Amino acid sequence: MQKQAGSIAQPIDVSLLLDLGPWTAYQKALTLLAALAIIFDGFDIQILGFAIPSIMRDWHVARPAFGPITALGLAGMAVGSPFAGFCGDRFGRRVTLIGCVLLFSAATVTTAFCHSLFQLGVLRTLAGIGVGGALPNAGTLTAEFAPMRRRALAVTLTVLCVPLGGMVAGLIAARVLPALGWHALYLIGGAAPLLFALVLLTALPESPRYLARFPERRGELAALLLRMGHCVAAGSFFDNGPERKIERGRNLRALWIPELFRDTAGLWLACFACMIGVYLVFGWLPAMLTAQGLDLATASSGLAAYNFGGVLGVLICAAAVTVFGSRGPLLWASAGGAAAALALMFVHIAPRGDHTLLIAGIGLQGLFVNAVQTTIFALASHVYPTPIRSTGVACAAAAGRVGGIASSLGGAAIIQAGSGSYLAVLAAAMAVTGVCLAIVRNHCPGNKR
């Protein structure tokens, strides 16, 4: 039975209405749509890594030449995140998400026809802008479709689709590259999200909390709320309660108002530190292991274990945050990530022999680190109010990308210093992440019964 949300001339606080209401099947379906967009996002993040060996053979270039290309992609993400966050708060989350999907998919398709490192760099930068902007807006949409008690779970499951997209990319690359080459991989990786953008255009609505800011869109909001199970009286008007205090057009400065200063500082520093660890693994773990004499298959198994452990960690952390809130699970997971990296120092890495303990330890570190990295997005979506939510999430993501760039550029020197230094940096990154997350005051609440 549908609920009467208000009466004639009675203000309706949309945020309160949704937070106290059920998480309906329709709202879950909208979360799934946003999550599917992020699977393509994750696919695009990983696609260059799979294609590099084939491109090297075709263009007769050495692997170091792709270092700047990778950095350009991360730089594009760092620029795209805050820009798309601003657009999401100003023009809408839906249109910005769709625009980002169109941008990175078009750049990916075009990459199939490029013939030089310069062209590849330009297209990778454009794709990075789209990739960097898609995740914050998708996370914001899922946060604003869900009631507060399910917000962290919804956002975490959406961000989980980034590593899932990378896994899908690996499965497709394993079949496509040997048979059809890297051109076909880029065509598939770009055409699929282009088609999915049409699905988003027809099926994905704007955030109800965003719509509540615009009286002229009352009819659109009322129809959306009706689909979510809330019947709105004809003469009622909408309000977002205390969130209206944030002025439009001053999004970046609003992140640093006294009420948010501590939370913003903690989130940005935590994202920066955590992404140093994440990209030090994504970009340099195979190189570190092969430098210790391990074969490429074992090194690849280590990265796969890290990703699979990450998926498991995200699911565990999402369940824990739903019950206990975000502070405890995030601090414990940060400590676990640091401890796992330190423990790996005592695992003997030998070219020959059984590497089960090594692979398991890497998987355990991935479990903790990815749980933290993914849940930070859910925390950011909780910290910031509706008028600046996209900007807040996007700027936190951009701070993380800067950490990723630093990790990418410094990874070779860290490996040169030895495996002990590599693992020490991973441990330090997670320790700093935990300290910074402890600074954040407004953590997600739990749902203990």
Model pLDDT for residues 224-269, shown as the tens digit of each residue: 988 888 887 766 677 665 555 555 445 678 889 999 999 999 999 9
Which single residue is written with the structure tokens 């953008």?
197
Give the number of other Cβ atoms within 10 Å of residue 90's Cβ. Answer: 14
Question: Which one, of 90, 304, 301, 49, lies nearest residue 177 by Cα?
Answer: 49
Q: How far, in Å, are 234, 277, 347, 363, 429 from residue 337 at the CA level?
A: 53, 10, 16, 10, 9
Euclidean distance between CA atoms 267 and 205, whole angstroms = 29
Looking at the DSSP bridge assignments, the partners of residue 3 are 230
Q: Quote the strand ranges of 81-175, DSSP E.
A: none
24 is written with which tokens? 């309906």
Q: What is the dihedral of CA 310, 313, 319, 321, to 10 degrees?
A: -90
Residue pLDDT tens, the chain, 449 long: 444 444 445 677 888 888 888 899 999 999 999 999 999 988 887 788 778 778 888 998 876 787 788 778 888 988 998 889 889 888 999 999 999 999 999 999 999 999 999 999 999 999 999 998 998 899 889 988 999 888 888 888 888 888 788 778 777 887 888 889 899 999 999 999 999 999 999 999 999 988 888 888 888 888 898 888 888 776 667 766 555 555 544 567 888 999 999 999 999 999 999 999 988 887 677 777 777 787 756 766 777 788 788 888 988 998 899 889 999 999 999 999 999 999 999 887 766 667 889 989 999 999 999 899 889 988 998 899 878 888 888 899 889 988 988 887 787 788 788 889 999 999 999 999 999 999 999 998 887 65
Euclidean distance between CA atoms 235 and 220, whole angstroms = 15
Q: Hey, what domains does the chain have and what are their CATH numbers?
A: 1-247 (1.20.1250.20), 251-449 (1.20.1250.20)
Euclidean distance between CA atoms 248 and 186, whole angstroms = 39
Euclidean distance between CA atoms 223 and 205, whole angstroms = 10
Radius of gyration for the chain, computed over Cα atoms and rounded to the nearest angstrom: 22
Q: Are 309 and 366 in contact (CB under 8 A)?
A: yes
